[in-house]
Structure 1
């Protein structure tokens, strides 16, 4: 590291002690308590992780603990947090363009980010805080009283980090570009892609139960990045539109329907292995094994038009009952859809062009995605219509096999008339931070030969 980087990174030391793997959570301390009692006391509170579940006072609790400020998930593990972690209610996702000129500086940035992220997700400040009133504090402070609030920070790499839009191999990484990341997502109907709000060299996804905690994370990581990277675009999301944790109720989207009933959950290990986590035999497995790919699209929903549709037309477009979420073939929300069932008039009970009929795994060679999307609202347009919709996020093992084919089918479903795709991004999410490692992406950057 350079002298400047060492000075910056020294203020972002990761908590000491053992780190468990998995989506584990603890409660019991806040940033204010850490500041009052010293960093070491907060670290001690952060050390007691029990695999896989939220804990309160050492006892396993249900998902209700996710609404409390003290909920914290461990940063280290085989996979990065924020993928199979039970979906939180708030998201702040930001893409960055790297301005650093060499690989050493890129490593400095990722090292500083990783140290800060490990502290923040444990409910600690970015640093133990400088006490001198003649220097700026290391933590901006807006979340001191809010605890970890279930914060997760996920870091990924875009295609242009390997070779930029001018074809330059800035960091000697061009020969390490994974094939699934190299291929662009084909254009589809009903899209008006804004290139300036798509892609990027790096991405940071911050999710939490409190919007200020997520903003605080992005605020501080952006501040740390000064001189190394600049913000390309950012997106706020609220109200999860998927359920990734066991016991989470299926949420509703802005059309009023339950969303993501058949999507993957974080406890379906076999399906996660097949469709989410990069395997040892996959492309770029030497540094991506245990990682995944984040596919994101901003989709505006024309709610004013949708709202005037008869209920029957709304349900036929989706393929489900609006109130119960059950497939139109009958049963309850989680009943398997019967695509052979007929209505009283003899037509298919679930219309062939409905979203359910076209997108259900049984109609797509069993392919699953782990969805982790959010609602968004960007105010109203000049005609007074809500500028709102879905910020769609899916984590998949290979976008070419597990995302692009489904997206291609989606353009033919009845919902397309009421949607417009505005942005398109794909990022490689490296595996989690293992013991002895100091930054996310270390497998890539320390084995590159360029």
Structure 2
């Protein structure tokens, strides 16, 4: 769907001073209210000419990535390669129908952070905090400096497709006296056999997801959000993640995880007729409160990959665990990456080519009553344990209109016999209600906090 024409964005070089100048009109969104992205090209004619020559036919376009992943994988690659020299120009809009950071593609750097409201802080303090956070997110996503005491960490960078997303945990509603507005879908997740959860790194009153295609831009946003919390809230836990930088490969391709597997072939796409009903809460759902209209539920899991054990497997054994070829992501039943998996195909011995316990078979929506979720994770590496074991894996983030029908349904199926389960360990968990995007003049969560 084509976007409306957008005004030019300021150049990255003006980032640290734009907060002091009169603000330009808010950028336009796409015709359907979704986020639009645009290039930054307010450079001098000579610089602009040099830039165009450098970028060639690929242009200096902002990133426009595919939808994030399904139960079987990660976000898909962009429709065309993005030159590294244009990475900073990508811009996501803040005032959109659904909050930014959900349907955008994988970002090169991410931070997940949960906060607990301070003792004595309640609804009034939470509203003031969300108002501050929303304004900071809006400014930073536009490539501007923060309103007060900017650290200049991102002075030389463009927006770099920065997204900032806010959500509420189950405990938030008790702390603010809003128990009657708490969605039933926020009931605690059930326990699973693969859980080895650390309570200090799970849940939280408030959750913030930050993503960008530049590490300094992402850190700048993280630091600004933390400073804005002031005395109203304190950090409960924080995790850092990464993905491949857009433009790092010779051509667009599906992402790989730290196990080296292509993952994201069967991602739900916005073009699918039932995409919205599976991922976003409708305005008239009948079971969700009105303030959750156009929102989604995020399940967040820190999943450690037992890489030392995984890497001892032969290539064939790894492919049997996943159910797809490692080289190109094609199903073991044959064809290309996008060829439909033949679940009934057998080999010369009469054995199923795609094993019954293969991860890709078990997670298919058609094997789970149509359950699907929009996966948009980050990989992580938090160092080496004293015994030499890497503390690395996946910061799993998935989105769905109903977490019971989405994540819980699929995870229960995995619990009963996923071949991958012996090579991973779930170490932390959270479930958050993420309201719809803020309209111009609003802050995120205003329809809850000021109802």
Shorter-chain TM range is: 0.7 to 0.9
Paired position in structure 2 for 1:284: 288
Query: Which of 145, 148, 172 is the matching residue for 2:159?
Result: 148
- Shift in CA distance, 37/325, structure 1 to aligned 2, threshold 3 Å: closer
Query: Which of 64, 68, 75 is the matching residue for 2:94?
Result: 75
User: In the comparison of the two structures, how many residue pairs are matched?
Assistant: 404
Query: Which of 143, 148, 162 is the matching residue for 2:173?
Result: 162
Paired position in structure 1 for 2:135: 115
Are residue 218 (structure 1) and residue 222 (structure 2) matched? yes
- Shift in CA distance, 270/329, structure 1 to aligned 2, threshold 3 Å: same
- Shift in CA distance, 162/33, structure 1 to aligned 2, threshold 3 Å: same
Find the aligned partners of 1:139 and 1:332 in 2 and give their Cα distance.
49
Structure 2 unmatched ranges of 5 or more: 42-58, 64-81
Question: Tell me, what secondary structure is at the counterpart of 2:235?
Answer: strand
Question: Tell me, what secondary structure is at the counterpart of 2:313?
Answer: coil
Could you tell me whether the CA contact under 8 Å between 2:105 and 2:376 is conserved in 1? no
Could you tell me whether the CA contact under 8 Å between 1:240 and 1:375 is conserved in 2? no
Are residue 379 (structure 1) and residue 383 (structure 2) matched? yes
Deviation per residue, 1:208-241 (Å, 9 max, x gap): 0011111111111111111100000001010169
Question: Tell me, what secondary structure is at the counterpart of 1:69?
Answer: helix
Residue 384 of structure 1: CA displacement? 0.6
- Shift in CA distance, 240/228, structure 1 to aligned 2, threshold 3 Å: farther
Find the aligned partners of 2:7 and 2:331 in 1 and give their Cα distance.
38
Could you tell me whether the CA contact under 8 Å between 1:241 and 1:251 is conserved in 2? no
Paired position in structure 2 for 1:47: 27
Find the aligned partners of 2:4 and 2:160 in 1 and give their Cα distance.
14
Residue 282 of structure 1: CA displacement? 4.0
Give the structure-2-normalised TM-score.
0.84
Deviation per residue, 1:50-78 (Å, 9 max, x gap): 55653336999474168521221110011
Are residue 416 (structure 1) and residue 421 (structure 2) matched? yes
Could you tell me whether the CA contact under 8 Å between 1:206 and 1:214 is conserved in 2? yes
Could you tell me whether the CA contact under 8 Å between 2:61 and 2:89 is conserved in 1? no
Find the aligned partners of 2:314 and 2:7 in 1 and give their Cα distance.
47
Paired position in structure 1 for 2:45: none
Paired position in structure 2 for 1:313: 317
Question: Tell me, what secondary structure is at the counterpart of 1:403?
Answer: helix
Q: Once superposed, what is the RMSD of the aligned Cα atoms?
A: 2.6
- Shift in CA distance, 319/420, structure 1 to aligned 2, threshold 3 Å: same
Find the aligned partners of 1:374 and 1:386 in 2 and give their Cα distance.
16
Paired position in structure 2 for 1:432: 437
Question: Tell me, what secondary structure is at the counterpart of 2:221?
Answer: helix
Query: Which of 91, 95, 100 is the matching residue for 2:110?
Result: 91
- Shift in CA distance, 173/322, structure 1 to aligned 2, threshold 3 Å: same
Residue 193 of structure 1: CA displacement? 0.2
Residue 102 of structure 1: CA displacement? 2.6
Are residue 56 (structure 1) and residue 2 (structure 2) matched? no
Deviation per residue, 1:423-449 (Å, 9 max, x gap): 110000001011342x110111112xx
- Shift in CA distance, 25/197, structure 1 to aligned 2, threshold 3 Å: farther
Deviates more, 1:51-60 or 1:192-201: 51-60
- Shift in CA distance, 354/178, structure 1 to aligned 2, threshold 3 Å: same
Are residue 175 (structure 1) and residue 156 (structure 2) matched? no
Give the structure-1-normalised TM-score.
0.84
Find the aligned partners of 1:197 and 1:25 in 2 and give their Cα distance.
41
